[in-house]
Amino acid sequence: MIRIDIAQKINNPSALTQEQGTKIYNAIVTSFEHKEDVTLDFANVESMISPFLNNAIGQLYGKYTGEYLSKHLHLANFPSVKNSTLNVVISNAKKFYADKDAFTETAKDVLNIE
């Protein structure tokens, strides 16, 4: 099992950006490709917002099933005050990746984009 210290991996105790999230996502995918389970350790993270979580965790639902992630991805020291944010990220990711084309078309219609 691989343990990823989030703050160390992003060189910052604040997990705020999509770019930071992508760095974590890439580390997770690389580990999964090597058939390794992953534990994300949030012990040294002082602040965190949804753009980070969208890219670090939500994006995984485009490549892996919820069942796979439940079995192979583990969270350690995740701040309980962020559980609702994580739940929203996961719920939105599952909906988005279940029908990405329809979601994209609806967003374009709502935003009036061609």
The gap between the terminal CA atoms of the chain, to the nearest Å, is 45
Tokens describing residue 70? 């439940």
Three-class secondary structure of residue 62 per DSSP: helix
Spatial contact of 13 and 46, defined as CB atoms under 8 Å apart: yes
Higher-confidence position of 80 and 98: 80
* Cα 4 from Cα 41, distance rounded (Å): 6
Mean pLDDT of the chain: 92
Q: What is the pLDDT of residues 26-36, one digit of tens each?
A: 999 999 999 99
Buried b (16+ CB within 10 A) or exposed e, 58-71: bbbbeebeeeebee
Give residue 33's pLDDT: 98
What is the model's pTM? 0.88
Spatial contact of 33 and 19, defined as CB atoms under 8 Å apart: no
Q: What is the pLDDT of residues 29-56, one digit of tens each?
A: 999 999 999 999 999 999 999 999 999 9
